[in-house]
Structure 1
Amino acid sequence: MILQRTLKEAISATGVGLHSGERVRLTLRPAPPDSGITFVRTDLPEPVKVKAEPVLVNDTRLSSTLVDPTGVRVGTIEHLMSALAGLGIDNLVVEVTAAEIPIMDGSAAPFLFLVQTAGIVEQPVPKKFIRVLEPVAVVEGDKWVRLDPLDGFKVTLSIEFNHPAFNLAPQKVEVDFAHRSYIEEISRARTFGFMHEVEYMRNHGLGLGGSLDNAIVIDDDYVLNPEGLRFPDEFVRHKILDAIGDLYIVGHPLIAHFSGHKSGHAMNNQLLRELLSRPSAWEFVSFSDPSEVPSSFHSVPEVV
């Protein structure tokens, strides 16, 4: 039987919020079966819990931010959620001392390190997958995202930037996780932004913690980071990292093919809401026989 997973023990780290610039302490704690991923704002007079659910993603300006009915926010959750998807973590309590998850190095790799350092344990309850049964799509002009039935998990994503730094490598990547590794090929891809956007973002209270240490920064012609890119196509790989994190806000691994063009956090969230609004388009499945699990999920690291 394929079982749910949580952490073996709690672990903490400190970092900076990408948009707020605030120093943030992050603590990951084990959680009981079927509880999902729950964020807790511990900096408030009374700690407030906010569960990761598509309906609570109510701010998608440059990140995915949960906003509960009382207005309590937990922002920039997508890189952590992406790491949890890559490691198959079903249940977790995420405590933060600010309104934003720390950006770390701009990728999912530091979160993978934290989870693997804490250790992963299986729980005596079947893991629940969401199997997509019918195509579901969201289209806005020339931008689109869709989910199609597939006995596995595959992502096909393309971006479009008329800029020298982007023209050095393909702006379209397809990753079939039956044959390729999230940890090796996606997790280290960093977020990116343009110098000309910095003034706009800071005038709107965004990007206050951004630096060359936690983002790829691009001017009119070049990547400004002295070390360059981690992959020739790091930009589109990061968009795949983001999409995996955004999709995991649904709380379960998707058995599907996700594809998109010029998409972002808002459209990814709209796609989840569209899927959930159509009961005929999906079903919950669990697997009592490990051999029945689609091979895309065989690359999820084993519990040690």
Structure 2
Amino acid sequence: MNFQRTLKSELTCQSVGLHSGRKINMTIKPAASDAGILLVRKDKNYKQKIKVSLDNVTDTTLATTIGNNGTAISTVEHILSAFSGMGVDNAVVEVDGPEIPIMDGSALPFVEMLKKVGTCTQEKLKKYLIVKEPVYVSEGESHAMFVPSSSFEITYKIEFGHPAIGVQSYHLKLSDETYAQEICSSRTFGFLKDVEYLQARGLALGGSLKNAVILDETRIINKEGLRSPDEFVKHKILDAIGDLSLIGMPIVGHFIAYKSGHKLNAMLLKELLEHQENWTTATVLDIQESYEELNTLDVPSYKILDAVHV
């Protein structure tokens, strides 16, 4: 886990795009150390590789979109979540359409494919971003924050006025194992009235019961029901893991969110980067020293409690 990782060999898959409704072919290839995650539109400029980074986020409406020089790829959060959750630092993702294929609406198919081809360590050490001081953003009643921690932790709370969802919260210490066992199978979800509204306007054209949990006014309409009782909040965590990976390195800190989404997740990363006194970077060789420093920090518990409206 100390060294950067990439795929042992390339993999391919096909599925529809959630918003475009088009069949999309995707190939994921190994990449060199320090390359990061690179995206390629094979139906556009095949030679242009778009680096996955906060600077290249062009839209956060309904999904996270990465673009550069007029070329963009949307709905990247699930594959980025799988990479982050499984510790993959470097890869090239090629698609022949405008978005990443939705698969079953979760990151499970990506995780299964990554496990099948396997990953390998590379010659360079990972670099970590270590949160040293709390950072907070809000918009309306939604808010998100980072506080120091000796690992990457997530505490997430959602609240919907729907009888099948209500209030859900979940806490996770991220590792390959916890991601695969607890998070990656959680599917995206939406409300039937919203899906019909979006499809009437040319959006969510690929959405179906095969790739999303759909709710009408009172219940879940998928015959198979939920994969876990807290699948809704777990999917929000899945999305957040993908969004937070836009910072370009693993995070050592505690992400705490209440009703957050793609836009607010990106806002928090920008706020963090703008205050360099609140974070530092380290490799695994000197990260223990940073842990010891973190243990001396006193973060008032009320700040965490307020952040999640406990």
Q: What is the TM-score of this pair, normalised by structure 2?
A: 0.90
3-state SS, counterpart of residue 160 of structure 1 = strand
Structure 1 residue aligned with 2:226:
229
Distance 1:102 1:108 in 2: 11
Equivalent positions of 1:267-286 (< 5 A) are 267-286=264-283
Structure 1 residue aligned with 2:37:
37
2:44 counterpart letter in structure 1 = L
Q: Check conservation: 1:2, 1:289, Cα contact below 8 A.
A: no
> Which residue of 184, 200, 205 maps to 1:203?
200
Q: Check conservation: 1:6, 1:121, Cα contact below 8 A.
A: yes
Distance 1:28 1:178 in 2: 22
Q: Check conservation: 2:86, 2:111, Cα contact below 8 A.
A: yes
Structure 2 residue aligned with 1:100:
99
Distance 1:78 1:190 in 2: 12
Equivalent positions of 1:5-84 (< 5 A) are 5-44=5-44, 46-68=46-68, 70-84=69-83
3-state SS, counterpart of residue 159 of structure 1 = strand
3-state SS, counterpart of residue 81 of structure 1 = helix
Q: Check conservation: 2:44, 2:71, Cα contact below 8 A.
A: no
- For structure 1, the residue ranges without an aligned partner over 5 or more in a row are 295-304
| Per-residue Cα deviation, 1:93-137 (whole angstroms, up to 9, x for no partner) | 000111100000000111111111121010010011111111111
In the TM superposition, what is the alpha-carbon distance from 1:202 to its structure 2 partner?
A: 1.7
Structure 2 residue aligned with 1:299:
none
3-state SS, counterpart of residue 195 of structure 2 = helix
- For structure 2, the residue ranges without an aligned partner over 5 or more in a row are 292-310
Q: Check conservation: 1:2, 1:290, Cα contact below 8 A.
A: no
Structure 2 residue aligned with 1:149:
148
Distance 2:176 2:192 in 1: 36
Distance 2:18 2:47 in 1: 22
Structure 1 residue aligned with 2:129:
130
The answer to which structure has the higher helix fraction is: 2
Q: Return 200-209 or 228-237, whichever deviates more.
A: 200-209
Q: Check conservation: 1:42, 1:48, Cα contact below 8 A.
A: no
In the TM superposition, what is the alpha-carbon distance from 1:175 to its structure 2 partner?
A: 1.6
Q: Does 2:198 align with 1:189?
A: no
| Per-residue Cα deviation, 1:33-66 (whole angstroms, up to 9, x for no partner) | 0010000111115442111011211211111111
Q: Check conservation: 2:86, 2:175, Cα contact below 8 A.
A: no
Q: Check conservation: 2:86, 2:176, Cα contact below 8 A.
A: no
1:58 counterpart letter in structure 2 = T
In the TM superposition, what is the alpha-carbon distance from 1:206 to its structure 2 partner?
A: 1.6
Q: Check conservation: 2:85, 2:174, Cα contact below 8 A.
A: no
Distance 1:46 1:93 in 2: 12
| Per-residue Cα deviation, 1:59-87 (whole angstroms, up to 9, x for no partner) | 1111111121x221110010101110111
Structure 2 residue aligned with 1:240:
237
In the TM superposition, what is the alpha-carbon distance from 1:141 to its structure 2 partner?
A: 1.9
Q: Check conservation: 2:155, 2:171, Cα contact below 8 A.
A: yes
2:185 counterpart letter in structure 1 = R
Q: Check conservation: 1:196, 1:219, Cα contact below 8 A.
A: yes
Q: Structure 1's 46 and 122: CA in aligned 2 closer, same or farther, altered over 3 A?
A: closer
Q: Does 2:186 align with 1:158?
A: no
In the TM superposition, what is the alpha-carbon distance from 1:200 to its structure 2 partner?
A: 2.2
In the TM superposition, what is the alpha-carbon distance from 1:223 to its structure 2 partner?
A: 0.4
Structure 2 residue aligned with 1:85:
84
Equivalent positions of 1:285-304 (< 5 A) are 285-288=282-285
Aligned length in residues: 291
Q: What is the TM-score of this pair, normalised by structure 1?
A: 0.91
Q: Return 137-146 or 176-185, whichever deviates more.
A: 176-185
3-state SS, counterpart of residue 94 of structure 2 = strand
Distance 1:254 1:26 in 2: 27
Q: Check conservation: 1:152, 1:178, Cα contact below 8 A.
A: no
